[in-house]
């Protein structure tokens, strides 16, 4: 169950309208002077005290709950109404009510002891209702859309506030399980409130039973924020820290985590280049919160608070600086200055150590260019894009005729979405007549740029040029060329023939098992896609199953297989595949993002 937010942009308020609580009523708006709904006859005064003033989000039969602003004898509050009587949904709803009754903190909405009750609207329908304190303000997801990325100072302020709430929650033996920007309200006074406790779970009791294998806990998954162990049904207090880190990334970059790339070598989210306003120590600290392995995250709120102290961040910052190219360069400069002072004090040694000349200066330039190229490449491999760009720009400035440096700089610009810089550097590199592998790589990256611009014809031209490479780049380019033939040109047989040849070539690349499986999985996926478009369902199924067997982490084959099952009217298998489609990695492919949106629509209807 995805619990709902208590504070969203309300619909236009009509002071002369009151709403019927019956979710099956065909016309729920009524004049406010009526006592019963004019359409279905349901009493409009709920539990002898509440009147439904306006919905706080659009009424939608696909949602499990309706959320209303209500009048409680002159006081405005919020009422959540559970539309369905499914036992698991009722359990989550009751849990939220009980939890909020027990907790008393300014950062958590209050529920009075009689705030949970049921209402019968006809002989067959019983509605579960929960009345909460109305939190004035705006949820952080909506706030970020309006105001953009937050500053470091505000990030630290909000982080400390949320830690205070989590500390209270954890000390009372609960963890939230669904922290994300839409579940955090910013009040007009600047204070934060954590909402939506339908997913909360006790740390003791059922949690300990789960560790013994006695009981299956309900999985709560919010795409982009849920910790890996929680996806597997094993939720811990540290799962809240993971979600907190992902929430901070969203607010610092103004991009949901699910829209950010992942470093597949480390599993880390690639986001720091999109938050240049924060310091490296704080960025690394947030990465610690989001560590895939629970053991690598802070173990409690106190450990997080200690890590946030000014001294800890400063010491971490000093370590980052010493390891950085600037730090190394500064240290080298200081050493050289020290040597220079020593030479001046002993001039007879100076000529021995330093003999300037044109050849020497050329060697220094070559060394410097190679140094900055190497530093830039290392930063690029670690996706520290700002630092990579600085070093590669230095390398190009020192040696403008380095095709490799320009190619790498173009790649950095591409990742930073500075497409004009990327195209300029790639084209300059091609003019320098690089070796065959570098040339193919440049054409491949240009293909991606043109595809991002939706200039698919030019993208196909660049991919075709890159296909001449006999190695990995050539196969990758062939795959993208074939993918566009399927997606844009509908040349399905052309695509399949190219992909089958590429599959044969993967055996001669000398890849390790993981790399080969990943590459072959992508090729099988696209063959399956082509066969699906040709209405060859059995062939599509076979190829897509091969793709999933080799690599089940990519979303595309799950999304396509879901479509196969739907065509075969196998609703059970379709539901499983759509869930896998939604939860797996899109890998930045636009067609997959469309399919994942389709998955969400399908799952909401279900």
| Contacting residues for 258 by C-beta, under 8 A, at least 6 apart | 223, 224, 586
Q: Which of 233, 259, 257, 235 is nearest to 247 (CA)?
A: 257
- Burial code (b: 16+ CB inside 10 Å, e: under 16) for 41-80 equals ebbbebbeebbbbbbbbeeeeebbbbbbbbbbeeeebbbb
Active-site residue, selected from the candidate residues 66, 178, 196, 408: 178
Q: Which of 541, 536, 586, 538 is nearest to 560 (CA)?
A: 541
Q: How much of the chain is helix, strand and coil, in % rounded to 5?
A: 55, 10, 35
- Average per-residue pLDDT for the chain: 79
Residue in this structure with the two tokens 């102290």, named with its chain if needed? 309
- Indicate the SS3 state at residue 110: coil
Q: Quick one: pLDDT at residue 277?
A: 87
CA dihedral sign, ordered 245, 249, 250, 252: positive
Q: Quick one: pLDDT at residue 292?
A: 83
pTM above 0.75, yes or no: no
Alpha carbon separation from 303 to 171, 433, 601 (Å, rounded): 14, 54, 40
Give alpha helix (H) positions in 507-589: 513-533, 537-550, 555-567, 571-583
Q: How many residues does the chain have?
A: 606
Residues of the chain with pLDDT under 70: 1-15, 172-176, 197-222, 230-235, 309-368, 382, 586-588, 606
The first and second tokens of residue 223, run together, are 């795409």
Measure the CA–CA gap between 556 and 565, rounded to whole angstroms.
Answer: 14
Q: Quick one: pLDDT at residue 118?
A: 92
- Burial code (b: 16+ CB inside 10 Å, e: under 16) for 262-298 equals beeeeebbbbbbbbeebebbbbebbbbbbbeebeebb
Radius of gyration in angstroms for the set of CA atoms belonging to the chain, rounded to a whole number: 29
Measure the CA–CA gap between 367 and 149, rounded to whole angstroms.
Answer: 39
Counting other chains too, the contacts that 592-599 makes at CB distance below 8 Å and 24 or more residues apart are: 592/555, 592/556, 592/559, 595/555, 595/556, 595/559, 595/560, 595/563, 596/555, 596/559, 598/559, 599/559, 599/562
| Span 123-153, pLDDT tens digits | 778 899 989 888 888 889 888 888 889 988 8
Q: Quick one: pLDDT at residue 531?
A: 95
Residue in this structure with the two tokens 């559970």, named with its chain if needed? 82
Measure the CA–CA gap between 177 and 175, rounded to whole angstroms.
Answer: 6
- In whole angstroms, what separates CA 321 from the centre of its chain? 28
The first and second tokens of residue 20, run together, are 């019927």
Q: Quick one: pLDDT at residue 298?
A: 84
Q: Quick one: pLDDT at residue 190?
A: 85
Q: Quick one: pLDDT at residue 366?
A: 57
- Indicate the SS3 state at residue 62: coil
Is 178 an active-site residue?
yes
């Amino acid at each position: 169950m995805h619990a709902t937010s208590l504070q969203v942009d309300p619909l236009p308020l009509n002071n002369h309208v009151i709403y019927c609580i019956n979710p099956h009523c065909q016309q729920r708006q009524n004049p406010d002077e009526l006592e019963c709904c004019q359409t279905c006859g349901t009493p409009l005064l709920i539990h002898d005290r509440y009147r439904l003033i306006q919905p706080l989000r659009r009424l939608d039969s696909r949602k499990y709950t309706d959320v209303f602003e209500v009048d409680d004898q002159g006081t405005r509050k919020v009422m959540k109404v559970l539309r369905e009587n499914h036992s698991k949904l009722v359990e989550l709803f009751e849990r939220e009510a009980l939890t909020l009754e027990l907790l008393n903190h300014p950062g958590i909405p209050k529920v009075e002891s009689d705030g949970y009750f049921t209402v019968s609207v006809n002989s067959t329908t019983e509605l579960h209702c929960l009345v909460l304190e109305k939190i004035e303000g705006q949820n952080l997801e909506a706030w970020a859309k309006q105001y953009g990325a937050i500053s470091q100072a505000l990030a630290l302020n909000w982080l400390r506030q949320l830690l205070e709430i989590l500390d209270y929650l954890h000390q009372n033996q609960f963890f939230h399980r669904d922290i994300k920007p839409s579940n955090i309200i910013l009040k007009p006074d600047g204070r934060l409130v954590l909402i939506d406790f339908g997913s909360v779970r006790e740390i003791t009791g059922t949690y300990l039973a789960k560790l013994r294998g006695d009981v299956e806990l309900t999985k709560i998954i919010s795409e982009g924020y849920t910790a890996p162990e929680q996806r597997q049904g094993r939720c811990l207090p540290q799962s809240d820290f993971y979600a907190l880190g992902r929430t901070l990334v969203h607010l610092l970059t103004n991009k949901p985590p699910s829209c950010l790339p992942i470093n597949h070598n480390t599993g880390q989210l690639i986001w720091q280049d999109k938050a240049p306003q924060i310091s490296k120590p704080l960025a690394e600290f947030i990465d610690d919160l989001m560590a895939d392995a629970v053991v690598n995250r802070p173990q409690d709120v106190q450990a997080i608070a200690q890590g946030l102290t000014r001294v800890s961040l400063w010491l971490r910052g000093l370590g980052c600086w010493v390891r950085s190219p600037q730090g190394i360069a500064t240290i080298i400069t200081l050493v050289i200055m020290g040597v220079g002072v020593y030479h001046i004090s002993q001039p007879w040694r100076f000529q021995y150590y330093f003999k300037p000349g044109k050849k020497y200066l050329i060697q220094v330039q070559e060394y410097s260019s190679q140094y900055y190229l190497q530093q830039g490449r290392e930063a690029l491999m670690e996706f520290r894009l700002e630092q990579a760009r600085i070093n590669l720009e230095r390398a190009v400035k020192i040696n403008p005729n380095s095709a490799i440096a320009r190619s790498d700089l173009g790649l950095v610009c591409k990742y930073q979405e500075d497409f004009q810089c990327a195209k300029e550097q790639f084209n300059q590199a091609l003019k320098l007549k690089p070796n065959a592998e570098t040339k193919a790589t440049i054409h491949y990256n240009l293909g991606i740029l043109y595809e991002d611009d939706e200039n698919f014809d030019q993208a196909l031209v660049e991919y075709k040029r890159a296909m001449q490479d006999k190695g990995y780049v050539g196969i990758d380019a062939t795959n993208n060329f074939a993918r566009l033939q399927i997606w844009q040109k509908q040349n399905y047989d052309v695509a399949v023939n190219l992909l089958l040849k590429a599959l044969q070539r993967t055996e001669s690349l000398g890849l390790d098992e993981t790399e080969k499986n990943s590459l072959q999985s992508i090729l099988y996926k696209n063959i399956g896609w082509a066969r699906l478009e040709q209405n060859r369902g059995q062939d599509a199924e076979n190829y897509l199953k091969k793709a999933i067997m080799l690599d089940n982490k990519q979303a595309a084959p799950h999304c396509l297989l879901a479509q196969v099952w739907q065509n075969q009217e196998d609703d059970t298998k379709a539901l499983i595949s759509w869930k896998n489609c939604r939860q797996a990695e899109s890998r930045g492919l636009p067609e997959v993002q469309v399919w994942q949106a389709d998955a969400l629509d399908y799952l909401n209807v279900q």
